[in-house]
Structure 1
Amino acid sequence: MEIVGWILVIALFVVGIAGAVYPILPGVVAIYAAFFVYGFFFTFSHFGFWFWFIQTTILVVIFIADYAVSAWGVKKFGGSKASVWGSIIGLIFGPFVIPVAGLLAGPFLGAVAGEMIAGSDLNKSLKVGWGSLVGLFSGIVMKLFLQVLMIVLFFIWI
């Protein structure tokens, strides 16, 4: 059972890191779930108040910042609320409509469409679309850093 426990923990860590790049995967939730899998298969005794406080704080920061950083990218490049929503909708549905390439095309096209619906010209809409990609990549870097930090802290704690 020990091997099964470690396989599940590592698999959840891999899904978590992949989720930082591919937003359809549960990402940070998978990493957080790995802590519970470890606890159920081995022991929760390694995890005290500070472990759970730090890990939960990182989880909440990632959830909030994930959308805030994407919206920041769109807003920084002059986007409207419509382009922010378009970018978020594109981020969610893009990978389903165009596998792999939809990860980039979805937020970009969503932001461009949203900005055009808001009444902007094509040049401004394309600039805002670029801003959605800047926000997306900034969010990915931030999530990767924080999620790797969560995993490192886990191994330090155990």
Structure 2
Amino acid sequence: MDSVLLLLGFVCMIVGVFGSFMPVLPGLSSCWVGLLLLYLTKAVENNYWILGITLLITVIITVLDYVIPAKGTKKFGGSSYGVWGTNIGLIVGILSPIPFGVIIGPFVGAFIGELIYDSKNHRRALKAATGSLLGFLASSFINFLFCIIFVGIFISIVWQNRSVLF
């Protein structure tokens, strides 16, 4: 059973790393499940501190995945219409079957929101939409960074327990 849990944990880690920059797949949460599966093996002693801290990081970064693009819009001069457009565009992008919908949705949403706010100022709308895109890219980078850290923790724990696991 330990081998199955180890293999499933490793698959979750791989899916998590790919999911950190492919929004269709779960990113950091998948990596956390991989750590949990590793700790469910009989070979690895439970460490609730690592699981708790990594869960807290996962929850915080998952929330930030939705907040950062909106903050990027605001930082680049967007109004509350642009922020709402970003959030609505993100939801539509997640649910739509178009490729890169999660990237395109917030950008288009912020752009449309800003045009609703001020239909004559296309430059401002484009600037706010660019802020949304940069916020999304920053969020993806943070997600990827922590996925790599979680993979490092996973590999370290497997290495420390290699004699019992293999």
TM-score bin (small chain)? 0.7 to 0.9
Match of 2:163 in 1: none
Letter in 2 for 1:146: F
Give the 5 Å matches for 1:114-125: 114-119=113-118, 121-125=121-125
Give the C-alpha shift of residue 24 in structure 1: 3.4
Match of 1:37 in 2: 37
Could you tell which deviates more after superposition, 124-133 or 46-55? 46-55
Q: Take 1:2 and 1:86, find their aligned partners in 2: how far apart are those partners?
A: 47
Letter in 1 for 2:75: K
Give the 5 Å matches for 1:1-158: 1-40=1-40, 42-43=41-42, 45-94=44-93, 96-97=95-96, 99-119=98-118, 121-158=121-158
Q: Take 2:47 and 2:148, find their aligned partners in 1: how far apart are those partners?
A: 20
Distance 1:46 1:156, change over 3 A: farther
Give the C-alpha shift of residue 77 in structure 1: 0.5
Give the C-alpha shift of residue 37 in structure 1: 2.3
| Contact in 2 for aligned 1:58/1:150 (Cα 8 Å) | no
After TM superposition, the score normalised by the length of structure 2 is 0.80
Stretches of structure 2 that go unaligned for 5 or more consecutive residues are 159-166
Q: Take 1:49 and 1:134, find their aligned partners in 2: how far apart are those partners?
A: 35
Aligned residues: 157
Query: The residue matched to 1:46 in structure 2 has which SS?
Result: coil
Give the C-alpha shift of residue 90 in structure 1: 1.9
Give the C-alpha shift of residue 132 in structure 1: 0.6
**What are the Cα deviations for residues 15-67 of structure 1, in whole angstroms up to 9, with x where unaligned?**
21222223332222211212232234x23743313212321232122123222
Could you tell which deviates more after superposition, 25-34 or 143-152? 25-34
Distance 1:52 1:97, change over 3 A: closer
Stretches of structure 1 that go unaligned for 5 or more consecutive residues are none
Q: Take 1:57 and 1:95, find their aligned partners in 2: how far apart are those partners?
A: 24
| Contact in 1 for aligned 2:111/2:129 (Cα 8 Å) | yes
Q: CA RMSD in A?
A: 2.2
Q: Take 2:49 and 2:100, find their aligned partners in 1: how far apart are those partners?
A: 40
Q: Which has the larger radius of gyration?
A: 2
| Contact in 2 for aligned 1:108/1:130 (Cα 8 Å) | yes
